[in-house]
């Protein structure tokens, strides 16, 4: 892992700890109000940067229950995320990623055998689901992440989406792809909950700053070489710096590392939001 990537990871981690707050979500100029708070979880955006060009759809959804106001499901969806520099330089694409967290005022464990018993646990639980991740590797081959799932325990509990510190075991199934006369499947890589994932996410109250750090480490089994250690890390920091016609434009810096390819890549770019749900506070 290069020094630049390490520095970028540290920068992102530090930035995630500093979250400015803003109570006022609209300002008045020339008799018209304009928003200064944005919702980073509901938008269609395009990005341009050192990773190439791309885009993604992000959606957030909260399910409430009339008979239990303390309970809610927080659902985050990322759909059709693509970043491509074209040619042999690089491609990453993700068909779907969902993160579902069940938030309650008090977590608990129920032992339903015999007379049911309830034991207090101070965390939310949830799951991560990822399907259809395609990555072009440095040697020109492709890797298809067919499915990835993780059970999550969120220790930094909140009713909104602004913060998360989640841990859990992760299962992953990936396959190498090669193009011959047709697409040929190569080695399979399977981590049967033999790896762990940690995810730290924080957003400022006004939605202008977003930081996310994910680390996965453990072992994975390959059809070609049996068990091997596997680790990967990814960090991003996004800061909205201006808005055109109330559509935000953000600077993004990021870094990612993979032990399997011993590859560390730092990236910088800009994200333009084409469509987004207005922040409720700014309506």
Partner 1 sequence: MRAHCVAIAAIAIGLPSIARAELPLMERDQPVACAKDLDGHTWRIQCDHATKVCLYAADEELDALGKPVKPLERAKDCAFDPFDRAALAAAGYTFEPGRADVPWGWTRDDRGRAFQINFDLRKRVFFGVAYTPKKILENPLESTRTSIDFGLLVLNIKNDRTMHRLRFVEGGVHLEPFSAELVLAHYDLSHRFLDPLLRITTFFGEPARHDLTLDLGMWTEVGGLELHRTARGNAQLWKHATAEVTLDLWQSADLGSFARLRTGLALEGQRDEVTGYHSAIVQTSAFELDMVVDREGFHNLRFELAHELPRYFVEMGDTGKLAQRMKARLHYEAIVLAINDQPLSLKLAMGGEKRDDIPGLPNQWAFVMDAGLRFSLWAPPRARL
**Interface with partner 1 includes 67 (CB under 8 A)?**
yes
Q: Minimal distance in Å, beta carbon 45 to partner 1?
A: 25
**Interface with partner 1 includes 141 (CB under 8 A)?**
no
Distance CA 32, CA 67 (A): 41
Q: How many residues bind partner 1 (CB under 8 A)?
A: 45
Q: Minimal distance in Å, beta carbon 65 to partner 1?
A: 8
Q: 191: Cβ–Cβ under 8 A, 6 or more apart, which residues?
A: 170, 171, 172, 173, 218, 219, 220, 221, 230
- Among 87, 112, 140, 225, interactor with partner 1 by CB under 8 A: 112
Judged by beta carbon, residue 26 or residue 149, the one nearer partner 1 is 149
Q: Which residue has the tokens 């993780």?
A: 150
**Interface with partner 1 includes 147 (CB under 8 A)?**
yes
* DSSP 8-class letter at 281: G
Q: Are 148 and 168 in contact (CB under 8 A)?
A: no
**Interface with partner 1 includes 146 (CB under 8 A)?**
yes
Q: Which residue has the tokens 């749900």?
A: 277
Helix (H, G, I), strand (E, B) or coil at 6: helix
**Contact positions with partner 1 (CB under 8 A) in 148-207:** 149, 151, 171, 173, 182, 185, 188, 190, 192-194
Q: Minimal distance in Å, beta carbon 100 to partner 1?
A: 6
Strand ranges, E, within the chain: 26-29, 32-35, 43-49, 52-64, 72-86, 90-103, 107-111, 117-121, 124-136, 142-154, 163-179, 183-203, 209-222, 226-244, 247-258, 263-276
* DSSP 8-class letter at 19: -
- Among 59, 78, 219, 260, interactor with partner 1 by CB under 8 A: 219
**Contact positions with partner 1 (CB under 8 A) in 117-136:** 117-118, 121, 124-127, 129, 131
**Interface with partner 1 includes 115 (CB under 8 A)?**
yes
**Residues lying near partner 1 in the complex (CB under 8 A):** 67-68, 70-71, 100, 102, 104-105, 107-113, 115-118, 121, 124-127, 129, 131, 146-147, 149, 151, 171, 173, 182, 185, 188, 190, 192-194, 218-219, 221, 223, 226-227
């Amino acid at each position: 892992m290069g020094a630049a990537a390490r520095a970028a990871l540290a920068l992102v981690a530090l930035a995630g700890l500093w979250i400015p707050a803003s109570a006022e979500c609209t300002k008045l100029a020339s008799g018209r109000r304009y928003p200064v708070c944005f919702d980073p979880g509901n938008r269609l955006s395009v990005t341009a940067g050192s990773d190439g060009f791309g885009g993604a759809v992000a959606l957030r959804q909260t399910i409430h229950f009339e008979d239990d106001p303390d309970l809610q499901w927080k659902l985050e969806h990322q759909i059709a995320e693509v970043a491509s520099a074209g040619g042999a330089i690089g491609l990453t694409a993700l068909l779907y990623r969902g993160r579902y967290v069940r938030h309650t005022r008090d977590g608990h464990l129920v032992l339903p055998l015999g007379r049911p018993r309830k034991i207090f646990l101070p965390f939310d639980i949830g799951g991560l689901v990822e399907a259809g991740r395609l990555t072009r590797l440095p040697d020109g081959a492709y890797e298809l992440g067919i499915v990835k799932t993780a059970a999550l325990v969120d220790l930094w509990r909140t009713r909104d989406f602004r913060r998360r510190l989640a841990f859990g075991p992760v299962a992953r199934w990936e396959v190498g792809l090669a193009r011959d006369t047709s697409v040929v499947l190569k080695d399979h890589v399977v981590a049967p909950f033999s790896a762990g994932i940690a995810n730290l996410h924080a957003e400022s109250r006004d939605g202008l700053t977003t930081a996310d750090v994910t680390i996965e480490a453990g072992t994975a089994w390959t059809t070609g070489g049996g068990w091997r250690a596997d680790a990967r890390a990814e960090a991003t920091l996004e800061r909205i710096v201006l808005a055109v016609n109330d559509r935000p434009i953000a600077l993004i810096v990021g870094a990612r590392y993979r032990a399997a390819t011993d590859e560390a890549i730092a990236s910088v770019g800009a994200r333009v939001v084409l469509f987004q749900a207005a922040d409720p506070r700014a309506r």
